[in-house]
Amino acid sequence: MKKTLGLILLLTMTTTGYGYDRITGEKFASRSEVIGQHGMVATSHPLATQIGLDILKKGGTAIDAAIAANIALGLMEPTGNGIGGDLFAIIWDAKTQKLHGLNASGPAPKNISIDYLKSQNLNKIPSYGPLPVTVPGAVDGWVKLHEKFGNQEFKSLFQPTIDYALNGFPVTETIAYYLERSAGRYIEYPNFSELWLKDGKTPAKGEIFKNPQLAKTLQAIAEKGRAGFYEGEIAHTMADFIQSEGGFLSYEDLSSFHSEWTPPVSTNYRGYDVWELPPSGQGIAALQILNILEDFDIKKMGLYSSEYIHLFTEAKKLAFADRAKYYADPSFSDIPVQELISKDYAKERAKNINFSKAAMTDEPGILKNGDTIYLTAADQYGNMISLIQSNYRGMGSGMMPPGLGFMLQDRGELFSLDPSHKNALIGGKRPFHTIIPAFVTKDGKPFMSFGVMGGATQPQAHAQIVINMIDFGMNLQEAGDAPRIVHSGSSQPTDEVMLDGGSLSLEKGFGSKIEDELNKAWP
């Protein structure tokens, strides 16, 4: 197994350059696969990847490496994640030869209510400010992951990022771009300018940026563990600040929070078991899409066919209609997960697909009984982890507790204010979640740890990567680089029914002929 870890893990994006055709593989592939013997770390930032690799070289587990890399990404890519956000993970444990799932997403404050929001003449939860703030779950997630699967000292996982926060690191081009775009949105909120603006400007590409506030916060977590964040001075600072801004997050909300181990669920797609976490996330939408598509000869249709694109899009609409109605916090609602991902249910749903016309409205099925970073790692022992983390809406809510160096998430925006909806806002309830890690096994052995970024795009892309590899015979790099189908405007976790056909976007590479053919089915 050690000799194939790199092959089944790493997905990176670069350009081939120089105008030459590729010697091997598909022309759209940005590079060849990276293959390693003793471990692998794949993140969206080279410094975070290097931190993870250094942990592996010291004998750390893949879980140790992932935690250290995630800590670094919170500093280096604050436009997508950080300690103010949530975390989900799927872990392959080499000792037991089993998968484990962790839901480290935080609930709404216990004292918030639909009645209060409606008394403020609000028809939805705002995107920014104190009201969409939910308990940040990532730090407790790190603690739980390390307790179960780590072998390095917890404190040591924080030191590389603390050093970068104190001494500085070069800001990458992409993060500089998103920071500049974020400034206009967050500049009016307290404490943002103090940290992120210098002479009225956000850090430019290549500028050495320091965040001593975050270094101090990370040091407290490194020394005190969970209590350093969810109890004591930092917890009081977060709660007092949000309440002073008109929100509801309390010290008790923070001190009482604990993430949950939750078994992953799966469907078998042409001999491969595809694993996702059950709700409160949207992972099973990918399984529903694959179940619907399994009875069709996708290989014969081919990637570059309007028939396949139309079929995939219609299957996605059906899955997302169910997503809107049924996916929510299972602690508050009975979620019929096993029926939703059953083959029989998929066959019934597939009957709704019209190959000559796009559906304008998709109703949820009738059953018998809602920016991000992704990273993955594998170690010399055979452990693997698929981990995703986010603040929602880029940097988050705009709420930056004074002196702590990070922004709190705004995931609460995804609650419904309809009391009858499964995803209705209730104090202490977790909102519908969009970020989802994934895993694939074959004959009970690990085949692939993978995930993508991008809100509602994620289940669609999960399904397409699996299809690209299994139906179209691509390698992992090609499967990620292949042009993607993205349907938007479909059912949302606050609305049960879509009112029109939505919009279909095709990445460059499909060609105008296919677009013309699809337009015939899309009025």
Residue whose pair of structure tokens reads 């692939």 in the numeric block: 448
Residue 52, pLDDT score: 98
Question: pLDDT grade, residue 156 (50/70/90)?
Answer: very high
Q: If pLDDT is split at 50, 70 and 90, which confidence band does 495 have?
A: very low
Distances (CA, A) of 278 to 88, 282, 309, 337: 11, 7, 27, 7
> Is 441 noted as a catalytic residue in this protein?
no
Mean pLDDT of 199-207: 95
Instruction: Check pLDDT > 90 for residue 387.
Output: yes
267: pLDDT strictly greater than 70? yes
Nearest to 323 by CA among 315, 175, 302, 485: 315
Range in 225-239, 333-347, 359-373 with the lowest mean pLDDT: 359-373
pTM, two decimals, is 0.92
CATH fold, domain 284-371+454-519, is Serum Albumin; Chain A, Domain 1 (1.10.246)
CA distance 412 to 416: 9
Is 278 strand, coil or helix?
coil
User: What pLDDT, on the 0 to 100 scale, is given for residue 15?
Assistant: 36
Asked if pLDDT for residue 480 goes beyond 90, the answer is: yes
pLDDT tens digits, residue range 428-454?
Answer: 999 999 999 999 999 999 999 999 988
Q: Which of 49, 161, 313, 372 is catalytic?
A: 372
In the structure, what pLDDT confidence band is assigned to residue 11 with cuts at 50, 70 and 90? very low
Provide the mean pLDDT of the chain.
91
pLDDT (tens digit, 9 = 90+) per residue, 284-340? 999 999 999 999 999 999 999 999 999 999 999 999 999 999 999 999 999 999 999
Sort 473 into a burial class: Cβ within 10 Å, 0-12 / 13-18 / 19+: exposed
Q: What is the pLDDT of residue 489?
A: 74
pLDDT at 110: 98
Local confidence band at 367 (pLDDT 50, 70, 90 cut-offs): very low
pLDDT tens-place string over residues 129-151: 999 999 999 999 999 999 999 99
Q: pLDDT category, 462, cuts 50, 70, 90?
A: very high
In this prediction, residue 505 carries a pLDDT of 86
Domain boundaries, the chain: 38-261+373-414, 284-371+454-519
Query: Per residue in 94-131, pLDDT tens?
Result: 999 999 999 999 999 999 999 999 999 999 999 999 99
**Three-state secondary structure call for residue 100:** strand
- Rounded CA-CA distance 151/62 in Å is 10
Residue pair 82/400 in contact (Cβ under 8 Å)? The answer is no
**How many helices and strands, by DSSP H and E, does the chain display?**
20, 14
